[in-house]
Amino acid sequence: MPTTREPRVGIRLNDVVVVALIVIFALLPFPDDTFRARGLLFVPALVAAAVMPFRRRWPLVVLAISLLCAVASAAAGTISPSALLAAAIGCYSAMDRRGRGIGLIAVAVSVVVVFLSNGWALAGDLLDSTALQFVLLVVLGGALGDAARSRREFAAAMIERAERAERNRDDEARRRVAEERVRIARDLHDVVAHQIAVISLNAGVASSALDSRPERAREALTTVRSASRTVLSDIGGLMSLLRSDALDDPEDRRPQSGLAQLDTLIDGFRRGGLRVDLRRQDDGFVLSPASDHAAYLVLQEALTNAHKHGLGGTATVALRIESAALHLTIVNPTRNVAPASPAPGNGLRGIQERLAAVRGAAHFGSDRGVFSLEAWIPVEGVDTP
């Protein structure tokens, strides 16, 4: 619940108005002698008026003093409208500043005191209408104080809710920006890394075979040219997509590669000098487009790593169905002889994120000079185990 800061004691315009009203009620020439203050009976009214500026900081004390002034007037046989008005204002402040629980107790005590003191001033006539109206005045003061406190708390709650919504909106915007940066980095790696690796490897082949095997160098340079055009086209398409105002427009998206292009992918690596042994037992299943593309990217990343970091220029690729998942295994010799579980680079980290998005999983590591990458991707239908 919002808390109210205690204001400093000081004279304000509404304090002047309240004090003036109490003094005027003390000086008014009421027709009924019961309400007239004479002589020393002005003192309780003036005391009640004097403590009014302190009602915000010490509302219960001010209320108690106002009730004592009313009782003192009743003991002299007079009902003091000014002291009772001060008591009503004190009930307002108590309910407004001390909360509903303490405020209700203060109002209830005030009602009892005012009711009995007025009956005392009227020689025991507790049900006199002229006296009961002051009881209603005290109750009205408490009700108005509760309404003022509730309105203030409601406004504070609305402000807090708006500030919290703004903070949540900012946090959500930052989260989306971070996710978008990761997605762009992942897509850029998928577009560029493979083709750049092909360019680098074939450039090395062309450089070493330029004198001894010119035809082999020409083939490698042809592959470099083709890969360069492909990567430039892919980067241009990615930039166009990022600059587009309608990212969901199907015309801005090209078809994503899947396992249907696996033979083309492997032929490209074979032309680059990587010997790939493909073993397929993956008939009779259905992959969603996202899962199909993720499977293709797993194979592309694993073969790219085998081509760049592998030893002997060989890799083994196996695809098979296990239970309700497509199991991909890519194995290649590596220069690392000791068992190790290397920290994932950008490519392997991107594969883990893509597989997690399709409820898949990946495991990779080196053991005794062999690097292996395994991936499991759920399938939508399996005809044969």
Report the C-alpha gap between 45 and 24 in whole angstroms: 10
The pair of structure tokens assigned to 376 is 């499991």
Task: Please give the pLDDT value at position 282.
Answer: 65
| pTM of the predicted protein model | 0.50
Residue 229's alpha-carbon distances to 160, 235, 253, 258, in angstroms, are 56, 10, 19, 21
Distance in angstroms (rounded) separating the CA atoms of residues 127 and 106: 22
Amino acid identity at 368: R
Q: Which neighbouring-strand residues pair with 340?
A: 366
Q: Mind listing the pLDDT tens digit for each residue in 193-204?
A: 777 777 877 787
pLDDT, tens digit (0-9, with 9 covering 90-100), for 242-255: 676 544 444 444 55
CA distance 110 to 106: 6
CB contact at 8 A, 9 and 52? no
Residue ranges, the chain, pLDDT below 70: 1-11, 26-41, 123-126, 190-191, 241-242, 244-256, 282-284, 336-345, 381-385
Task: Give me the DSSP letters along 256-310.
Answer: PP-GGGHHHHHHHHHHTT-EEEEEEE--SEE--HHHHHHHHHHHHHHHHHHHHHB
